[in-house]
Amino acid sequence: MSINTPAPPGPLPADPPYPGRAPATVHQLARGHGRPADRTVAAARTVTGADAPRARLDAVGTRLRLRALHVMGHNCVRIARALDVSETTIKDLARGDARTVSPDLRDAVADLYDAWWDKRAPTRTRFERAAVTLARRRAIAGNWCAGAALDDDQLDTPGYRPQYGWKPATGTGAAPDIRPPGPHHRRRTGA
């Protein structure tokens, strides 16, 4: 099929492939090969920023926020439960295995961090105490810094590294339990 094949009559479907345009045509046009049909140009001009998916973001700020929560004793299970995401997602981010993060997850972690950064994880039961101990050991072993040592203005800047490592932090009290919305909520996906 030639890139100069006219577009089919009527509105263009949102997702290729569709009659009259091969997926390769769009790729060729994007690379500057050929000239788009007038109908294609008109359809492209109607696309707004709200129609396009938001780009993935560097995970450095999210990773540092999660690590600071570990210093306060919040483990991956507790954080994942509060955010309604998988524990694996939180572990991958805290370890540094995930390089990028979705804007929605970044915003959710930032909101949780704002609520818990200076609060200890609860220690009401022996299981909670054990989870807090493990989270703090992980933070000590990784030399992760507390939230008070993070520069909030630089936190989401790619390549930002805190000046300080682990220091003991006691916080200002126990963090409240945060539960995800009711049973008809949509679960967030991916790191």
Instruction: Convert the pLDDT of each residue in 146-184 to its tens digit.
Output: 888 888 889 888 888 988 888 888 778 888 887 765 554
In this structure, the strands spanning 100-101 and 57-58 are: antiparallel
What is the token pair recorded at 48?
A: 């707004």
pLDDT band at 99 (very low <50, low <70, confident <90, very high): very high
Confidence of residue 15 (pLDDT cuts 50, 70, 90): very low
Higher pLDDT, 136 or 34: 136
pTM of the complete model:
0.67
Angle between helices 60-71 and 87-95 (to 10 degrees): 100
Residue 189: pLDDT over 90: no
pLDDT at residue 22 in the model: 57
